[in-house]
Structure 1
């Protein structure tokens, strides 16, 4: 042990990568408040009947936990393909411990030092962090003032940036904004690298809304990412997945850690997917609460943005930090996403939504 080792008391004293110095770990505020509506979780619990079935399957998997799990998680991939439809099969599917790990696999395979990852800001705050974690450069494009993007503008921005990876979040987080299929098509034609459509909130979009899954055939550089965290109320289970050409999937095998999905995770996810209609029955209720939030926010003088997700971004907030603190003091936790004059709230249960709206009304009128 050297004298330097004995004196090391902070990150500054460790041989950390230069590009990580001064950064803060990702994470939304966590607090034991009665109403937590800040991280876009599904606040409805897994239905009892489904929970019992999941526990039964986990119990069976536990009997073999002394052995490594199926490295190719074949049954789970087939279950995802059956759920998504669109003519997909197990060879088109991939999964990880949350969609963040799936996106990380993509960037490990297709980004990295000397390469560029592009997205239209404001968008999911993990994208720049995932890019940086793989040594890639993050490049942010622009949206219209209402956070929409036209196909022509999107293609022009992508062509100018010439990125190795394009990340398209639709419906977009943190704005809730949908992205037209024509935009995805235009971006793919303009891009030299891979295009990833992050559909984490797709189940909350109108049922007639098309998915980018319909564009996969004949587009080997395209991938569509999903998650079980939101609509399936599986945030704590950490299961994300994607659909793409089998060759795209082969690229991800090059960077994944061996046996990265535990046998218990695989068993739980397969059981949940087997009960998809029951698990998704809560989506309509959440959408109803989302619309109730938007209508009430407008009545209170705020400016809610159109949302196809399980949350609402609203403007017209004169002092977001003060409003956030006032709600916090009333036992309600929402999210300040850093957009001036805006805050974001998750659509919770009817009782949680009522608590938020009552607390907001008690603070005073909007700016």
Structure 2
């Protein structure tokens, strides 16, 4: 609120104290954007991979596919028990559906365990580990970690050799390392995950800054969003703050949420995944502050209402908003300072 006679148009400086350290991005998802993102994910299934993107993507936004029972039937009928990728999509999708249990044979279990090997690609190791986790099957996490780090080292060596000829090797490295982060989040906290966690700092160093506003990988939105999702999921898992600076978080968010229309189902899934972890994590909570309507003016006082939300435009459960100072646009004079906002509703 402002004192009697002050202008209703202000230049504001705000301090926000939330349950976690607060950041303010330029780009975020409005309620309309969230609904449009949900619509991008809510598509008819064309294969098990598309079902995974749709079901898990919607779940990360707190939504469900229209017919969960039908979706579960689709997963069961399209599952190939001899294919690691198929098992990954089925395990993760069924886990996001209520009451969708899938039984697998001992032969399929052995297939997944055998795929957790340094002779497999990083993608195959990730898919096998996540499938075992999704099906609730036991896994020797330290052995899986050893296979993952060995394979990652092999692929890094190959890509380093390719670098002199093909510039895309850097992009492939980023994708593989993001998958390593995703894999580690499924491993036991008793395993020594430090070597994988340290990869986050290397990935941050590979990000490209655009105009001081955006930060993203060369290969674009999808890998950038999956990196953010994987990083915060892993850091919540191990209980360590990610090695990302505050301004870098803002720039990453601006890059991810500046795009409102998506070229593919996987791209929409990646944005939903990033939005989910940035709305609920222990360390960095981007906060969006926007005026609600126009400032109302009476003979007694001017009233300014603000919406304070997370990046999904959801209200914060706990937040204190303090006005540092407000200036009249007309006179540039300070008309209010050091005033706390009162929660409404």
TM range (shorter): under 0.3
Q: What TM-score, normalized by structure 2, do the two folds share?
A: 0.24
Instruction: Give the structure, 1 or 2, with the largest relative contact order (CA under 8 Å, sep 6 or more).
Output: 2
Q: What TM-score, normalized by structure 1, do the two folds share?
A: 0.23
CA radius of gyration, larger in: 2
Structure number with higher helix proportion: 2
